[in-house]
């Protein structure tokens, strides 16, 4: 079995930020802090959204190591936050985390809720990333990315599995990419002419497809994936955007993948789809988030 990434349990914290001060959690400058590891796709989605909204001055970010540093796959730096929120929390202390400085508790560890709340509750000064009447369309794009690309890419790369099942998964993956290619035939972005949360989700999905899932596919499958010129030109364009590319930790993604991967590398590993770093270099990163120290590595 090709376990490309660790199994993630249902998030234990699903608080939401409301727009009414009388609710438990409401948007206020400097009240919250994000704890993110951009090598994690869920965290990368939040980090890009945070930058697009220009929230660096009102909602600080602590950057976590690329590879979780506890035996259960969690982050040591997050353990005290989890335990302050749920006494003797039994599971791993996973990122992302949206933490409330006022109450000392974790609000949410659920990335889809966090990105929506950033856009809806903190996005008043920035671009409208979730326009009115697009929530359903955004949810459809999320499903397409999660079920049509992420999940099928993993099944298509399973080593030693049933060949017919792998072929079916690859066909499903290619159909999902066809849908995205068709969407971009008549518009600049996935939901229209303006950049939205849907574009952030698709970009993170394409990053994972090339930097993680590709390593478990054969060369023929990777070549078929590249046969979506509009989609990959769109990925290059977004990577050159100052809110996207600077968050791309290619070395961290590789280390995280190798730390968790249980599968066998296939011929597709030698066929990179895109030179991501070439487009990142064209931009100067914005303010660097406060970083948590990398764990000390033992030798010998």
Element (H, E) at 56: none
pLDDT at 199: 98
Residue-wise pLDDT for 19-70, tens only, equals 777 768 999 999 999 999 989 999 999 999 999 999 999 999 999 999 999 9
> Of 61 and 261, which is predicted with more confidence?
61
Q: Give φ, ψ of 218 to 5 degrees.
A: -80, 165
Residue with tokens 């030798």: 299
Contacts for 153 with CB less than 8 Å, ≥ 6 apart: 169, 173, 208, 209, 213, 217
Question: 289 pLDDT exceeds 70?
Answer: no
Q: Place 85 in a pLDDT band, splitting at 50, 70 and 90.
A: very high
First vs last C-alpha separation in the chain: 30
Q: Place 274 in a pLDDT band, splitting at 50, 70 and 90.
A: very high
Residue with tokens 């001055």: 57
Q: What pTM was estimated for this model as a whole?
A: 0.89
Q: Place 263 in a pLDDT band, splitting at 50, 70 and 90.
A: low
| Summary mean pLDDT of the chain | 88
Distance CA 210, CA 224 (A): 13
pLDDT at 297: 37
Distance CA 263, CA 51 (A): 34
> Which segments of 122-218 does DSSP mark as H helices, in order?
135-143, 151-156, 163-183, 197-211
Element (H, E) at 291: strand 290-291
213 exposure class (CB count in 10 Å sphere: 0-12, 13-18, 19+): buried
Mean pLDDT value across residues 14-20: 87
Q: Is 156 left (phi over 0), alpha (psi -120 to 50) or beta?
A: alpha
pLDDT at 86: 86
The token pair at 201 is 């989700």
Residue-wise pLDDT for 149-178, tens only, equals 999 999 998 876 688 999 999 999 999 999
């Amino acid at each position: 079995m090709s376990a490309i990434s660790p199994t993630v349990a249902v998030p234990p914290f699903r608080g939401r930020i409301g727009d009414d001060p009388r609710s438990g959690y409401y948007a206020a400058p400097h009240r919250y802090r994000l704890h993110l590891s951009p090598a994690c796709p869920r965290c990368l989605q939040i980090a890009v959204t945070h930058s697009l909204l220009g929230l660096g001055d009102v909602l600080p970010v602590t950057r976590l190591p690329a590879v979780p540093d506890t035996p259960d796959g969690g982050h040591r730096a997050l353990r005290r936050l989890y335990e302050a929120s749920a006494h003797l929390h039994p599971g791993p202390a996973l990122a992302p985390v949206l933490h409330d400085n006022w109450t000392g508790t974790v609000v949410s560890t659920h990335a889809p809720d966090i990105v929506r709340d950033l856009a809806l509750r903190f996005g008043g000064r920035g671009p409208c990333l979730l326009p009115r009447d697009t929530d359903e369309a955004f949810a459809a794009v999320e499903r397409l990315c999660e079920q049509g690309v992420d999940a099928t890419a993993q099944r298509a790369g399973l080593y030693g599995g049933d060949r017919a099942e792998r072929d079916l998964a690859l066909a499903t993956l290619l159909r999902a990419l066809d849908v995205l290619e068709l969407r971009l035939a008549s518009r600049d972005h996935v939901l229209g002419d303006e950049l939205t949360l849907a574009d952030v989700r698709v970009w993170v999905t394409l990053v994972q497809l090339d930097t993680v899932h590709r390593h478990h596919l054969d060369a023929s499958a990777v070549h078929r994936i590249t046969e979506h010129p509009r989609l990959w030109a769109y990925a290059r364009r977004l990577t050159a955007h100052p809110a996207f590319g600077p968050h791309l930790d290619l070395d961290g993604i590789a280390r995280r993948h190798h730390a968790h991967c249980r599968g066998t590398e296939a011929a597709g590993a030698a066929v990179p789809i895109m030179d991501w770093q070439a487009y990142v270099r064209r931009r100067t990163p914005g303010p660097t988030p406060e970083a948590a120290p990398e764990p000390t590595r033992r030798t010998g």
